[in-house]
Amino acid sequence: MKPLYVLLVVASFFTVSQVKSQLPDAPKDAAFINENTIIKDESGKRIEMKTFMELMSTNDWTVDPKMTTDGKVDYIQLRRLTPEEKEKQLSDIMSLMGESKMIGTKVPNFEMKDIDGNIISSNTIKDKVVVLNFWFIACKPCVKEIPELNEVYEQYKNNKDIIFVSVTFDPKEKVIPFIEKHDFKYPTVAGDRNVVDKFTNGFPTNIIIDKEGKYVDYIVGGFPDIGKRIESSIEKAL
């Protein structure tokens, strides 16, 4: 049987059409999970989308679509990944999101303003190495990696050839107390969905750009030792 691809569509963030446009290589018959999809845990109990996302954010789970007799998705069954499946799924996600195709290519033109009023744009980053972090408040993997991001920032903050920026679509009035609570060191851009949509399809995403404005690294998802990978990419870009 041909494998059925399943793509998650979170209603408050993306529409199915937006995901399809951002993932042109996705199979035409891919199944899209949204807020109306029935999702069950390992015991067969139906769970809410919030619980589903919390489980999926650990990168320990996959989903098996259960089909009706006429070939439609009846419900989605959660299943814990084996170590081999986990490694392959991560590779497949990266391939689907075009990471390998982007490395060495030019980043799109952009302009954004951080919460202190500073403009960061394609013009202001010329001849600089840029480290971008895309996140949102309710994203647990995003929050989990903050200490490591802070360590990298502290290591390079005095290097004038490096610019750090975090970007979220969450509004400024919610972002300010959040970054104060978590002591997030990166300069932060809030409420900018246009830039978020331009650069990423998943969260967290960490991007390193070289002095020529080309992608050096594009990292989607919560990973152990993310700080070390960012540091390695910064050194490569320098």
pLDDT of residue 222: 75
pLDDT in tens, 83-112: 887 766 665 555 544 456 788 899 999 999
Q: Is the pTM of this model over 0.85?
A: no
What separation in angstroms does the CA of 210 have from each of 200, 203, 235? 18, 22, 10
What separation in angstroms does the CA of 36 have from each of 53, 75, 139? 14, 10, 21
Task: Output the average pLDDT for the chain.
Answer: 81
pLDDT of residue 233: 93
Strands 205-209 and 215-220: antiparallel
| Structure token pair of residue 222 | 């919560």
pLDDT of residue 203: 87
pLDDT exceeds 50 at position 118 = yes
Q: Residue 1 belongs to what H/E stretch?
A: none
pLDDT exceeds 50 at position 23 = no
CATH number of 104-237: 3.40.30.10
Rounded to an integer, what distance in angstroms lies between the CA atom of residue 209 and that of residue 215?
5
Residue with tokens 């290097």, as numbered in its chain? 159
In 10 A of CB 223, how many CB atoms? 17
CB 142 within 8 A of CB 222: yes
Rounded to an integer, what distance in angstroms lies between the CA atom of residue 68 and that of residue 205?
36
| Structure token pair of residue 118 | 């500073």
Domain boundaries, the chain: 6-96, 104-237
Rounded to an integer, what distance in angstroms lies between the CA atom of residue 208 and that of residue 133?
9
Average pLDDT over residues 143-153: 96
pLDDT exceeds 90 at position 143 = yes
CB 87 within 8 A of CB 95: no
Rounded to an integer, what distance in angstroms lies between the CA atom of residue 94 and that of residue 97?
5
More confident residue, 83 or 172: 172
pLDDT of residue 20: 38
